[in-house]
Structure 1
Amino acid sequence: MLAVEVLGSHMHYLDTGGDGPPVVFLHGNPTSSRLWAKTLEHADLGGRRAIAPDLIGMGRSGRPDLEYRLADHVEYVDAFLDALGLRRLVLVGHDWGVAIGMELLRRRPDGVRGFAFMEGHLRPLESWGEFDEGGREVFRRLRTRDEGERMVLDDNWLITQVAPDYAEFYPDARSRRPLLQWTREIPIAGEPGDTAALMAAGWAHLRRSPVPKLLVHAAPGVVVTPAKVEQCRAELPALTTVRIDAPGHFLPAEAPEALAAALSAWLRTFDE
């Protein structure tokens, strides 16, 4: 992996080194750039340069003294793009990488050529009722002071139960603080207010933006349910949707060949 200085810290990243326009892959919680490795092995990007950073505080990237709010991550990825001189790029996001990507598209309306997304919240949730029953109970506990700390920091629940392949990156309580904060960033019934406002603005811009968009979804999906797929089809311009067979939330790891095929076919349309 490579590393670059960003805002007084550093961010590690995978880089295929292609000569073509850049495609930036953004992971979410509680993973790292490794999430995209198998997908990139199978993808035919037509000579494009594929770049997958570890978000700040995650993977092998630095762990500066931050709150690790959504706004913090946006600032660091925005600065990361500038540090590498990336222009006219395509963004691909999973999980929280979707919200980061939406805000970057809003900030850089002339600098992003396309946006592909999967299994990430696109807008604030009106109520806890938008969670599935299992997720509702778990996230209530994660967002409860002291109980969430015990689950994530002390017992390492997110890694052992959700993403054990990433254990090496989060060996102790301090390294797991960004993971806990992500569970508390999902805006539900208007809280936290600043994150709700940021995501609402990103969703509003996505509904106006003419850039090509790709929604890759599974059935029934975890975060992106059939109802949300239909909402995207009804409200987002220039949208392509592709359904792939995947059992859960982590589509890039669960169905890398199918995802690679969907991304590769979509990217080829940019060359037509």
Structure 2
Amino acid sequence: MGHSGYPKIEYRFVDHVRYLDAFLDSVLPTGEMFLVVQDWGSALGLHWAHRYSERVIGIVLMEFIRPFPTWEDVGPSKEAQGIFKAFRTPETGRKLLIEDNVFLTQILPGGIIRKLGAEEQEYYRHPFLSQSSREPVYRWPNELPISHHPPDVWDIVSNYRSWLMKTDIPKLLFYTTPGAFVTPEKARWYEMNMENVRLVDLGDGVHYLQEDHPRRIGEETADFMRALLL
């Protein structure tokens, strides 16, 4: 991913878990931490937090991954559902994601309200210029826990989601309109049903909230951390 190396692995979620665990064991083997997580970073971070909850001071959430019982739960857009279903059809998915590079050229900019500049687009695309470098980009959509598949990812995400809903670890949840995984309606449901969570409405946004609201996210996150460290 990004500017890291390209080991010969499948790039499944459980592979990333192994690498993240080894990284944290090396650089931060003890002590408390905050987690600021989004998308697949949320699945990795929340799985870690579920296993090491005694080390977690607070959690900042954006567009986080949960179990999706049906395709309708992934998002309200039939078009988006169709695209992601195509991603999970082996021959079609590999053509779209590896040969045509549609995630970097269409899905990424489609998840941001503002228009990315040429330099920003180049930065995102640079690590994935060759088809051989796009294996992780292909794998991630196929790892989404939808309708109990893949079974191992479904079980992991279901377990951390149950823990997340009831743990009293302080949580800050950013959401936007229309949102993707976390719509305004879903955010309000979390406010009513998730333990010790505070919501922040960022306004307009889809999925990559940091690209549209970096300053607000940074300021609110810093305030959240400071309050818990006092």
Q: Same fold (TM over 0.5)?
A: yes
Change (3 A) 1:247 1:226: closer
* CA distance in 2 between partners of 1:206 and 1:220 (Å): 23
The answer for the alignment partner of 1:27 in structure 2 is none
- Superposed, 1:38-49 pairs within 5 Å as none
Selected match of 2:22 from 79, 82, 85: 79
Deviation by residue 1:215-271 (Cα, 9 ceiling, x = unmatched): 111122122112321221122211111111243211111111111121122112112
- Superposed, 1:1-272 pairs within 5 Å as 58-85=1-28, 87-121=31-65, 123-130=66-73, 131-132=75-76, 133-163=78-108, 164=121, 165-272=123-230
Deviation at 1:91, TM superposition (A): 0.6
* CA distance in 1 between partners of 2:130 and 2:41 (Å): 24
Highest relative contact order (Cα 8 Å, sep 6+), 1 or 2?
A: 2
Deviation at 1:117, TM superposition (A): 0.9
SS in 1 for 2:210: helix
Runs of 4+ displaced beyond 2 Å = 162-165, 245-248
* CA distance in 1 between partners of 2:198 and 2:49 (Å): 17
* CA distance in 2 between partners of 1:191 and 1:147 (Å): 18
The answer for the alignment partner of 1:36 in structure 2 is none
TM-score when scaled to structure 1?
0.75
SS in 2 for 1:126: coil
Conservation of the 8 A alpha-carbon contact between 2:178 and 2:204 = no
Conservation of the 8 A alpha-carbon contact between 2:166 and 2:195 = yes
Q: CA RMSD in A?
A: 1.4
Instruction: Please say which of residues 103-112 and 62-71 is displaced more in the overlay.
Output: 62-71
The answer for the alignment partner of 2:114 in structure 1 is none
TM-score when scaled to structure 2?
0.88
Match of 1:59, as an amino acid?
A: G
Match of 1:107, as an amino acid?
A: R
Q: Unmatched 5+ residue regions in structure 1?
A: 1-57
Q: Unmatched 5+ residue regions in structure 2?
A: 109-120
Conservation of the 8 A alpha-carbon contact between 1:246 and 1:255 = no
- Residues matched between the structures, number: 214
Match of 1:93, as an amino acid?
A: V
* CA distance in 2 between partners of 1:241 and 1:247 (Å): 15
